[in-house]
Structure 1
Amino acid sequence: MTGMELLEAWYDKVWVKGDLSAVADFFDTEALASGLMSDFAAQLEDFQTLVPAVRHALRDISITFEDSMEIGDKVWARMTLHARKAEDMMPIHISGQVMVRLKHGKIIEAHNSYDFVSYFEQMGNLPKDSVALMLAGETFS
């Protein structure tokens, strides 16, 4: 299995299908995943809470890989998550990138970058065009 195949299987089994028992098949016990939140690096056990929380808010999750590159033990991918909001089944699309380093066929290191501003705008937690508003000096309270 190539690194990209492993990454695709990780997203499919864990995030799309919600198979929490598969987390340990892909994610090393020593691994850390950064970039999901400031000053937070997810460990293996954190996915037991994180995945159900995301899947509670979203339905019909699918992931499209736009680009990828694999060099040695590292895989980079640019992707789009497609889903529907659980609340009203409106479609949402979230772009992101991930870089993983593999060791013995498992993810040992992951660096994530997702467009969370767009996600929270689409979920209704932030006003539309939040970045433009903040660049213009607006604040939200």
Structure 2
Amino acid sequence: MRAATSTVLYKWFNEVWNDDNEDAIDQLMTSESAANGILTADQPKGPEGFKIFFRGFRSQFQSVRIEIDDVISQDNVEAARTTVHAIHTQTGKNVTFSGMCMVRTKDGKIDEAWNNYDFLDLYQQLGQQLTPVAEP
């Protein structure tokens, strides 16, 4: 593994998610940061917007642990490949799914993020299936 511990993403996944520290969101995101792939365009930017996703995910899953499988960093861009482990609160099922996050940093904080997580795998582990939308 590369020098993951020196990256903002390492701090992010460990402090925000593994330590369940919502205050770290304010410390590690710029006020105007965008979380592409997590938030919709009509949601607030920055920590306020990300906390919507964070609280929603935490209400559905407990014992969240994110492993950083690999991370690369160059200049002000970092990318991490991760594995998420959690317990679905409603069913008690253990779930594991993978994903990738790429960020642009500014002054040691996340200024923009692009997230690509396998939520389809997550939903399938919970017994949910995608069904086609009926044509009108």
Same topology, TM > 0.5:
yes
Q: Using a 3 Å threshold, how does the CA distance of structure 1 residues 3 and 27 change in structure 2: closer, same or farther?
A: farther
Note the residue ranges of structure 2 that are not aligned, 5 or more in a row.
none
Q: Using a 3 Å threshold, how does the CA distance of structure 1 residues 61 and 103 change in structure 2: closer, same or farther?
A: same
Take 2:26 and 2:9, find their aligned partners in 1: how far apart are those partners? Answer: 13
Alpha-carbon shift at residue 139 of structure 1 (Å): 2.6
Note the residue ranges of structure 1 that are not aligned, 5 or more in a row.
131-137
**TM-superposition CA deviations, 1:71-96 (whole Å, max 9, x none):** 11111111110111112322101110
- Name 1:55's counterpart in structure 2: 58
Q: In the alignment, is residue 17 of structure 1 matched against residue 10 of structure 2?
A: no
Partner of 2:37: helix, strand, or coil? strand
Q: Is the 8 A contact 2:17 2:66 kept in 1?
A: no
Q: Is the 8 A contact 1:100 1:110 kept in 2?
A: yes
- Name 1:85's counterpart in structure 2: 88
**TM-superposition CA deviations, 1:50-72 (whole Å, max 9, x none):** 11110111111111111211111
Q: Using a 3 Å threshold, how does the CA distance of structure 1 residues 42 and 100 change in structure 2: closer, same or farther?
A: farther
Q: CA RMSD in A?
A: 2.5
How does the TM-score come out when normalised to structure 1? 0.79
Q: In the alignment, is residue 139 of structure 1 matched against residue 132 of structure 2?
A: yes
Range with bigger deviation, 43-52 or 111-120: 43-52
Alpha-carbon shift at residue 3 of structure 1 (Å): 7.9
Partner of 1:88: helix, strand, or coil? coil
Q: In the alignment, is residue 123 of structure 1 matched against residue 131 of structure 2?
A: no
State the AA in 2 paired with 1:139. Answer: P
Partner of 2:91: helix, strand, or coil? coil
Take 1:13 and 1:106, find their aligned partners in 2: how far apart are those partners? Answer: 13
Percent identity over paired residues: 27
Query: How many matched pairs?
Result: 131
